Structure formats: structure tokens, C-alpha cells
């Protein structure tokens, strides 16, 4: 019905910076808890590993939305010239 992509309009400018901040936050928390994991019980390593996984997931989400935004503009330019 509209020419807009299937994505919700409120996420257009917010997902990439928020996902980047979340990745930074998770990486910071992983670094802060790494000392405790290295000097303590092996079970203490689960917390920093979980933070690392969260940081990687946030980076993946950021890349996905950044690529979707860049890709849609590039396709529109190709359609205009064809």
C-alpha cells in the first residue's frame, strides 16, 4: 500500500546508534569482570563470556540495520537510472 519498506518507521534512525552503545556497554562490562574471572573460580568465567556474546550480538544487529539502510538507498539509485 505504501512505498516504504516493511520495517517499522520508528526504528529508522535509532537502531544503529543504540545497538552500538549497547555493544560498547557489553564490552565494557566484559572487561570489568574479566579480572574476577581470571583469578577466581572457573564458573566465574560465565559472566564475562555472556557479556562478550551480548556485545557480538549487538554488533551484528548494528551491522544488519546499517547494511539495510545503505542497501535500500543504493537500490533506489539503481532503479532511477534504469
Each residue of 67-80: pLDDT tens digit?
Answer: 877 665 555 444 45
Ordered DSSP codes for 5-62: -SS-GGGTTTHHHHHHHHHHHHHHHHHHHHHHHHHS-GGGGHHHHHHHHHHHHHHHHH
pLDDT averaged over every residue in the chain: 79
Of 23, 8, 24, the C-alpha closest to 58 is 23
Cα separation, 73 vs 66, in Å, equals 11
The pTM score is: 0.66
State the greatest distance between any 2 C-alpha atoms of the chain, in Å, as a whole number: 63
Give domain limits for the chain. 15-69
Amino acid at each position: 500500500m505504501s512505498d516504504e519498506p516493511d520495517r517499522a518507521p520508528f526504528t529508522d534512525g535509532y537502531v544503529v546508534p543504540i545497538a552500538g552503545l549497547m555493544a560498547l556497554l557489553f564490552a565494557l562490562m566484559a572487561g570489568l569482570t574479566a579480572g574476577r574471572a581470571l583469578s577466581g573460580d572457573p564458573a566465574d568465567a560465565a559472566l564475562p563470556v555472556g557479556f562478550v556474546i551480548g556485545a557480538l550480538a549487538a554488533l551484528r544487529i548494528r551491522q544488519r540495520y546499517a547494511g539495510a539502510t545503505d542497501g535500500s538507498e543504493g537500490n533506489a539509485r539503481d532503479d532511477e537510472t534504469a
